[in-house]
A and B are shown apart, each in its own frame.
Chain A
Amino acid sequence: MSKDIRIRKGLDIKLVGEAEKKTVNAIRSNVYAIKPDDFHGIVPKVIAKQGTEVKAGEPLFHSKSNENILFPSPVSGEIVEIVRGAKRKILAFKILGDKEQKFADFGTKDVNAMSGEEVKSHLLSSGCWPFIKQRPYDVIANPDVAPKAIFVSGYATAPLAADLDYVLEGKENELQVALTALSKLTEGQVHVSVGKQSNSPLSNLNNVTLHKVSGPHPAGNVSVQIAKIDPINKGEVVWVVNPQDLVIIGELLLTGKFNAERTIALVGSSVKKPQYYKTVIGTEVSTMVYDSGVHDESNIRVISGDVLTGENVKPDGYLGYYHNTISIIPEGDDYEFFGWNKPIFNKISPSRALTFSWLFPNKKYSLNTNTNGEHRAFVVTGSYENVFPLDIYPLQLLKACMVNDLDAMEQLGMYEVAPEDFALTEFVCVSKQPHQQIIREGLDLMLKEIG
């Protein structure tokens, strides 16, 4: 039962610095870091103490609330440091990678013969569980609650995001095995969506329902696809997996190894040679950044992830657990004379208020991190709706979150959204409000109060 999904509302942010379709092997990182903050809401309990040697796939820590959820080391090596912050909160596990990688052996499996319970315990014990996230709340899935469906979005529409058709090329086997395994975890269907024009390796797989998606960003956001295919109601849970993580799950089942290798796109207007790199989760971003070179080194922002939802990791930071893009753009830490009233040609604007991006719909822009204005109360109305395809009132939902009104949040559709869905409304916001943060805090409150 394939269904075409077409989105009209949205905004494609066209930026300079798209990755050339050429993959090189990144230089091996000395130190790898796993940051518990990448797993939202997880409080880590240390398993591998400082100084111990781990193999790739062996657990570093487990979740305080569920000790079955293990978080593995992406590489083999020695834990050189557990970085702690205020109140001894664990910020990162740093692993000094071995020259010769040693993998923990989880044993090869015949997926077709496995039961749902076997799949689940295998994914948990091998550390692959954190790849599975759930809606509502956009957190790591609770293994005790079976989802009504599982969603995989194979279509990336975020600005400069890695082209999934390209990075998944040749991985059909792994994808098929992983999706077959996942299909045993739900009584419902596994929905896979691909771009309408694409020639994705995900298009010809069994045990899944395929959907073809078209339209501007956020058409590739999984919430949009869920809303069109099988919307989440109160009390229901769906699971979401990124396609590049399916490859890791598939390889685990086929070979018994947890191989955290990933092809990522290095993009952005500050990058001299934007291209794809084959690297490992948790790697130092500098291994790629200085290989391709950057313009104006003193004035860059290095983002693990895309420019709308990624994390500011600084040039000495590490690739995030779920990210397959590193974006580097200029910092905007400068004043602009009469910047608020002069005609603007070099920035994107949804309006035409002496801003002229509407004249050049195909122009690629080099945006910096300047907010282009100060934080204000919500004033303008109706602009969010133009870039927000969900059947939800975004302004009203944001306000409900700001006043911690749980009833209103529930009624207005909080179960159906993730912070990333508010990235575009945040981008166009005239009042420069932190939409994603507001939604994240709202979801956290709901998770705590309602669960």
Chain B
Amino acid sequence: MGLKDKLHKLKLKYKGKKMAPAFNAIHTFLYLPNETTHSGSHVRAADDLKRTMNTVIMSLLPCLIFGMFNAGYQHHLALGEIQAVSGGFLSAEFWTLDNLIVGLWEVLPLVVVSYGVGLAVEFVFAVIKGHEVEEGYLVTGMLVPLIVPVDTPLWMLAVAVVFGVVIGKEVFGGTGMNILNPALTIRAFLFFAYPTWMSGDKVWVHGAVERANEIAGGAQLDAISGETILGGLAQGKEILAQTASHGKEVTYSIADAFYGFIPGSVGETSAILILLGGLFLIFTKIGSWRIMVSAVLGALIMGLIFNGITNAGWIAESSKFYALMDLEFWKHLIVGGIAFGIVFMATDPVTASQTNKGKWIYGFLIGFISILIRVFNPAYPEGVFLAILLMNVFAPTIDHYVVQGNVKKRMKRLKLKTA
């Protein structure tokens, strides 16, 4: 008797019992179920929710792997143990075993905690409420470790995940019913509950917090500065320069930012891999190209507006907003988390607009507002997660007006007839 038959017998045994959803979740992970059509169309297309979610995970994997190498690279670089990359994306200094080991050691626990805690909550709710374990968390669980600083304490992450899954999703009825993106709810919870761990110049490089504590304890050591590009710009530093330098004043080149050799949340730094992931999502028709394209347009247009303001001289160079406003508009896309947010977070179909027209408006406003918040929030110069959460709230309203357009057209036709 093969595994298939054994599992089938177990499934029949568990049928109707409390634990059935938990067993089915594992069973359907191994085997596509033997369910056949009962009403309506007798044949169905090959795609199901698991396949859809799996595709998103595949598009995220390069970012995760890069994030592990980058965690090690930033750590060793800040300690002065290695040289900065000199070549292109495939530079030998970056893709080393040393870097990977640090990354594995620091990032894998985040992934494990995110999935372990999140899926546990999902299973508990499925068993209590007697519905199947839905696949939404497969993507959320992968997104969460990619959008937090590398040194985030694991207990903090666990608390945030519980909060995000319960309050962000389950109280609304589970996958498909939530209003806010669960991964961003988790990120927002971390940001507002533990702000010192989520911003500043000490959290983005592994070891920086530890070193700062040692210095405070009287140790004679150099502080590790792990400032993000946005953080630097918000303080008016010329951090994004023609050439990279890692002397007294740290600067990064455009290529560094594009390839992702910069400090930041674990998986958000590499614009090129995010771009590839986005293209993959568009090619597989899983991600909405409408949202991605319109969000990029929105960000570029807001950037252009700010560039116009600085060019016209309406704002003094001494202003604390000047450096970010003066950043050339297209550079906004390769620094900070905006690219990651646009490609992987804004496109969450449940919390985005659901109509095609609505997606254009929704995406555009996300890009637009992200840059707006980025420039005007010096305390935490990244706006994309707040912009997406804000637009999550407004997405149903956008849809309402789009659908009303269709309703009005129908009413007009009726009036023409009866007139």
Contacts and interface: CB of A to CB of B under 8 A. Distances in A.
Contact of A329 (B42, B288, B406): B42
Given A340-B50, A382-B349, A419 B40 contact: yes
B49 interface: yes
Contacts of B24: 374
B129 interface: no
Interface string A131-171: 00000000000000000000000000001000000000000
Contacts of A369: 36-37, 42-43
A374 B132 contact: yes
Contact of A370 (B8, B30, B34, B288): B34
Contacts of A368: 36, 43
Contacts of A315: none
16 contacts: A308-B41, A332-B34, A339-B31, A340-B51, A353-B284, A373-B33, A374-B35, A376-B132, A378-B176, A379-B350, A383-B285, A395-B354, A412-B406, A426-B41, A426-B44, A437-B39
Given A336-B32, A437-B39, A351 B352 contact: no
Nearest to B7: A335
B199 interface: no
Contact of A373 (B7, B29, B49, B411): B49
B350 A353 contact: no
A430 B45 CA distance: 8
Interface string B28-69: 111111111111111111111111101100000000000000
Interface in A406-434: 411-413, 419, 422-423, 426-432, 434
Which 5 A-B residue pairings sit nearest by Cβ, starting from the closest? Answer: A373-B48, A339-B32, A377-B176, A436-B40, A347-B46
Contact of B4 (A309, A335, A357, A434): A335
Given A347-B45, A351-B285, A351-B286, A338 B30 contact: yes
B330 interface: no
A444 to B, nearest CB: 14
A372 B47 contact: yes
Contacts of A231: 413
Given A374-B35, A379-B349, A367 B47 contact: no
Interface string A395-411: 11000000000000001
A257 interface: no
Interface string A341-385: 100100111111111010000000001111111111111111101
Given A234-B414, A373-B51, A412-B406, A307 B42 contact: yes
Q: Which residue among B51, B54, B174 has the maximum number of chain A CB atoms within 10 Å of its CB? A: B51
A233 B417 CA distance: 8
B355 interface: yes
A179 B133 CA distance: 55
B4 A307 contact: no
Contact of B409 (A355, A383, A391): A391
B284 A334 contact: no
A430 B177 contact: no
Given A331-B36, A371-B37, A376 B49 contact: yes
A427 B45 contact: yes
Contacts, number: 229
Contacts of A375: 132
B176 A303 contact: no
Interface of A: 13, 15, 159, 231, 233-234, 236, 301, 303, 307-310, 312, 327, 329, 331-341, 344, 347-355, 357, 367-383, 385, 391-393, 395-396, 411-413, 419, 422-423, 426-432, 434-437
Given A337-B4, A413-B410, A427-B43, A377 B286 contact: no
B136 interface: yes
A355 B48 CA distance: 11
B3 to A, nearest CB: 8
Contact of A379 (B41, B175, B414): B175
Nearest to B415: A233
A436 B41 contact: yes
A308 B407 contact: no
Contacts of B46: 344, 347-349, 355, 357, 372
A233 B414 contact: yes
Contacts of B355: 381, 393, 396
A354 B49 contact: no
B359 interface: yes
A370 B35 contact: yes
Contact of B406 (A307, A392, A432): A392
Q: Which residue among A15, A338, A432 has the maximum number of chain B CB atoms within 10 Å of its CB? A: A432
A70 B300 CA distance: 68
A13 B43 contact: yes
Given A159-B43, A351-B284, A352-B284, 14 more contacts: A234-B414, A308-B43, A335-B33, A338-B31, A350-B285, A352-B285, A370-B32, A374-B48, A377-B173, A379-B52, A379-B136, A379-B175, A426-B44, A430-B47
B146 to A, nearest CB: 20
Contacts of A351: 47, 52, 55, 284-286
Contact of B48 (A233, A354, A381, A430): A430
